[in-house]
Amino acid sequence: MARRKIVAGNWKMNMTPSEAVKLAEELKPLVQSDSVDVVYCVPAIDIIPVVEAVKGTNVAVGAENMYFEEKGAFTGEISAAMLKDAGVQYVILGHSERRDYFKEDDALLNKKVKKAFEAGLTPILCCGESLEQREMGVTMDWIRFQIKSDLVGVSADQVASMVIAYEPIWAIGTGKTATTEQAQEVCKGIRDCIAEIYDDATAASVRIQYGGSVNAGNAAELFAQSDIDGGLVGGASLKPDFGKIVNYQ
């Protein structure tokens, strides 16, 4: 059975609650699709109004981050249970901005992945290399380390149901995009890594997105690759063009 494509918008730190509702309403008729899963990953303060705004549509709501503890003295953090109760279905974990700016390491992300599953959320686990790492020729070594570390103790059934997003750090928000061949090569490498850790069936089931300056002009070619199952979209998810990315066929 072919894997169903999934296109997720990562709104990052953009959109006040009122702006978020306006954007969700504007995008409603543009992102309708029976063949692609559509997700808006929005700032925490926007979650509840956006969940309300997309009720009755094909759009699911995701969070951009979460903490691994259930409750307690963790000022400013948000738990998986809070997200689930608010109507969230997906959560981005390990985005390079979280890894870089906020120093999140793989041991922390492993705890987050496990807690997301425990709460009934679907992780969108990000991985990717810097320009320096690509030029050194260690791209797959680095990404395999991230994947193996982040999935310690995670079951095959859980991995089969999750999403992995390959985001070359050098292509995020820069306007640069990995070539189709580069993106396919790494996504296949990720799938091969999953097969090694688990089995071929798990590797065949897990959905792997490409992220990094995905736009209406390159989405169709990227998504046509055998190991690319959609995109994690940054800036273009805040524009009407997001509809063209979703309906790339």
Catalytic residue among 97, 104, 129, 167: 167
Look at phi and psi of residue 138 and say left if phi exceeds 0, alpha if psi is from -120 to 50, else beta: alpha
Tokens 């906020």 — which residue?
102
Catalytic residue among 64, 95, 97, 104: 95
Report how far residue 80's alpha carbon sits from residue 2's, in angstroms, rounded to the nearest whole number: 30
| 7 close to 236: Cβ distance less than 8 angstroms | no
Q: What is the dihedral of CA 78, 84, 88, 94, to 10 degrees?
A: 50
167 flagged as catalytic? yes
Query: Taking the CA atoms of the chain, what radius of gyration do you get in angstroms?
Result: 17
3-state secondary structure 50-96: HHHHCCCCCEEEEECCCECCCCCCCCCCCEHHHHHHCCCCEEEECCH
52 flagged as catalytic? no
Q: Residue 2 class from Cβ within 10 Å (0-12 exposed, 13-18 middle, 19+ buried)?
A: exposed
Catalytic site residues? 95, 167
